[in-house]
């Protein structure tokens, strides 16, 4: 009886942990998609000509919305993410 109760308690704790991990992952995925969309829309609407380099996409994917803003600001000020000559 005691071992079944311990297993049941561990299973409930595992379900709760998985729920919180998936809830956090959902927010990260949405933030990543929004960051990439903002980069693409900024390129199209404002004609920024930011190259879709692996580094720019990585910053937008990991940073999300703030990452896209950072890439756009660094490009506008001529610091990074410029067109190759």
Say if 60 falls within a structural domain. Answer: yes
Number of domains in the chain: 1
In this prediction the pTM is: 0.75
Say if 15 falls within a structural domain. Answer: no
**Once rounded to an integer, what is the mean pLDDT over residues 34-40?**
95
> What letter does residue 83 receive in the DSSP assignment?
P
Question: Could you tell me the residue range of the domain that residue 42 belongs to?
Answer: 23-85
Average pLDDT over all residues of the chain: 93
**Measured distance CA(37)–CA(53) in Å, rounded:** 15
Virtual torsion, Cα 38, 42, 43, 48, nearest 10 deg: -140
**Measured distance CA(30)–CA(56) in Å, rounded:** 18
Say if 31 falls within a structural domain. Answer: yes
Confidence of residue 35 (pLDDT cuts 50, 70, 90): very high
Say if 73 falls within a structural domain. Answer: yes
Say if 13 falls within a structural domain. Answer: no
Say if 9 falls within a structural domain. Answer: no
Say if 50 falls within a structural domain. Answer: yes
Measured in whole angstroms, how far is the alpha carbon of residue 73 from the centre of its chain? 18
Picking from 78, 71, 69, the residue whose alpha carbon sits closest to that of residue 56 is 71
């Amino acid at each position: 009886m005691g071992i079944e109760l311990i297993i049941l308690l561990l299973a409930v704790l595992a379900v709760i942990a998985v729920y919180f991990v998936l809830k956090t992952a959902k927010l990260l995925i949405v933030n990543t998609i929004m960051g990439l969309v903002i980069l693409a829309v900024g390129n199209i609407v404002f004609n920024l000509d930011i190259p879709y380099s692996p580094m720019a996409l990585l910053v937008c994917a990991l940073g999300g919305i703030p990452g896209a803003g950072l890439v756009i600001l660094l490009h506008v000020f001529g610091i990074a993410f410029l067109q190759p000559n």
